[in-house]
Amino acid sequence: MDITDYIFNQREEVLLAGDYNAYRAHTTRKLHKLRKKLGQTTPKGRKYTAKPPVSAENVNGNVAYVHTLLLSSERAWAQALQMKSAHSADPSAKGITGAARRHIISRLHKSAGYANELVLLLQDQASGATDNDLLEARAYHATLSGALSLEKRKWEQCMQDFSVSRVIYAALGQNNKKDAFRDLLSGTVDPSLRYAAYQMKLPRSKPLPSLAISFFPSDANLRSEVEKVDPNCLKEDAAGTRRTADGEVQQLPETITWRSRTVALEDAAISQALAAAAAAESRLASWLAEASGKSASSKDKAAAYDNVIIASQDAVDATKTAIDDLVSEGVDLGDKRMQSLQITRTAVNFALVGWRVGRNRVLCGEHDGIHGETDQAKATKGSKGSAKREETKGKKLARLRERVVLYDSTLQSIEFILELPGVAADSAFVQELGAKRSYFRALRCLTIGRSHSILGKYKNALALFSQALALSQESASPVQSTAEAEEPPKLDITRNQIQTLESTLRALVSQYRGLVTLEKISEQQSKSASERPMVERLHEYPGDGLDLKNLVPYPPQMQPVPVKPLFLDVAWNYIDYPRENANTQSATPASAEPATEEKKGGRRGWFGFGR
């Protein structure tokens, strides 16, 4: 039946912007369509008739009956949250009280009622539901009941309800790695469970899985159903340990060290997140050390970093949540707990940035892209038609442009580290970060210079290579070689990498100095060859730029010269020279005109018309 996936897909489709009113309208439309298909709608113009109750046989025959119950529950839940969000956004209101609160509780009660009806139907063997279907329905009902208890401020009942949903979703998530289970746990169940524990004044040092197991109901049937899916789901781990996805028991860290300071971890969520990040790091390091990891492409290696980055991000989020909780409680920034959390925040953020930079370095290729080769270029060289077909300039420039984007992202990450609490006061660490920044700036200049060299702009390439060489020399002295050869690439830089970059840049600078010199010589030669001899430019003042080798053309060349001038005057017929009888000639035509008119006037036809 996939109850959880169906609910998750419905919410994901509409609730991206958090508009519960739109989600309520969406569920209403879907519910009407389903009832129309099932023949449960009242025809137009007829009196309303109550809908028949859903039976177990109906559920076994058509899964649409399950969807009608789910959509009815979701519609009531969306209406409750829409009212709650509308009243919470009103700054003038003093909380949700009176009729509004009663209406919200009524809607949540109705939503939980539909979910409970679904659980009762699936418990009947005639429904044909599997154990997983029943567990998903129980978890869904427990989530809605927990929301109802949370609104009623019944904290112990809220803890029990959300404990049921957390244990079931965690057990189902062990077998089926679905996003729906993980998102429901991280987005709804865990925050509500932690808030209820806070209201009950339970210690934060106790992790959420232990809280869920301790508040899980003692119903034998429910426990047996859950243990069928995961036999160890109700077994609480030993203090200071956690169970990994592979079933192994891992020790939780109790302290965290940043530079020379070590602080205790009082929040269990941070300890669990750090333990998960450490497990992901060890898996990544072991995979990269294997033959499959060494022979993998840069994209596959970068994809392997994602699990570590996600786990590190969870640690960052857990630390931020703990700090926000203390701030909401009014704890002073000078408090010992707040100071410890600030140090933890700097440490986990630095670790997260380090893994992000490591992924960028892997995507750049071997040796951080110093030699300009990638997996795609190597594959082209190894192909059969590599001698005939060479990679086009456009592809080369696109690859270099992508690499520049990665270097820009790395530089932004280093700038983010400088803004973390306590970093600016550590001058040695700031100097070390400046050296690393210069190293990646040198790589960026090197990559841009290569793009100019592809386009044939050798002067620009030489300037960029010279700038990169100066930056690499700046990064050589303050860097401390702390990275080992077997570790996955992160933010640490070794002296060998800097020396490799510097030697490569020295070679490129020498090479392109020669190319620029040859380009200048060829320009001068072409300029002197195209310039006319001095004897033909006597009207120009040469100044100091007189070329004594270009005075006259030698040996003389055959050139066309004009034999005699050719005179064409198109206005010859219109030129009139002054004469003595010019006035007499001009008066004679004027006197002759009237006689002509009189002569013409005498010639007429029979009817007086002129011919």
pLDDT of residue 387: 47
Distance CA 166, CA 185 (A): 7
Angle (CA) 592 572 587, round 5°: 15
pLDDT for the residue numbered 203:
80
What CA–CA distance (Å, rounded) separates 503 from 498?
Answer: 9
10-residue stretch averages of pLDDT, the chain, 611 residues long: 86 80 91 87 76 84 89 93 81 71 92 92 86 90 93 92 90 80 85 88 80 87 86 68 56 85 86 87 88 86 90 91 85 86 92 92 87 55 51 88 92 92 88 91 92 91 92 75 66 88 92 91 73 81 78 82 61 69 54 48 57 51
pLDDT of residue 596: 46
CATH of domain 3-42+52-239: 1.10.3450.40
In the chain, where the domains are located:
3-42+52-239, 240-364, 367-373+394-525
pLDDT of residue 566: 55
Q: What is the CATH number of domain 367-373+394-525?
A: 1.20.140
User: What contacts 24+ positions apart, CB below 8 Å, involve 356-361?
Assistant: 356/309, 356/409, 356/413, 357/410, 357/413, 357/414, 357/490, 357/491, 358/305, 358/488, 358/489, 358/490, 358/491, 359/302, 359/305, 359/306, 359/309, 360/406, 360/407, 360/409, 360/410, 361/406, 361/410, 361/489
The pLDDT value recorded for residue 147 is 93
Q: What is the pLDDT of residue 100?
A: 86
Q: Rounded CA gap, 446 and 372, in Å?
A: 9
**Cross-strand partners of 610:** 604
Residues 6+ apart with CB under 8 A from 244: 250, 276, 279
State the alpha helices, DSSP H only, in 268-335.
268-289, 291-295, 298-328
pLDDT at 554: 81
Query: Which pTM does this prediction carry?
Result: 0.65
Q: In this predicted structure, what is the pLDDT of residue 384?
A: 47
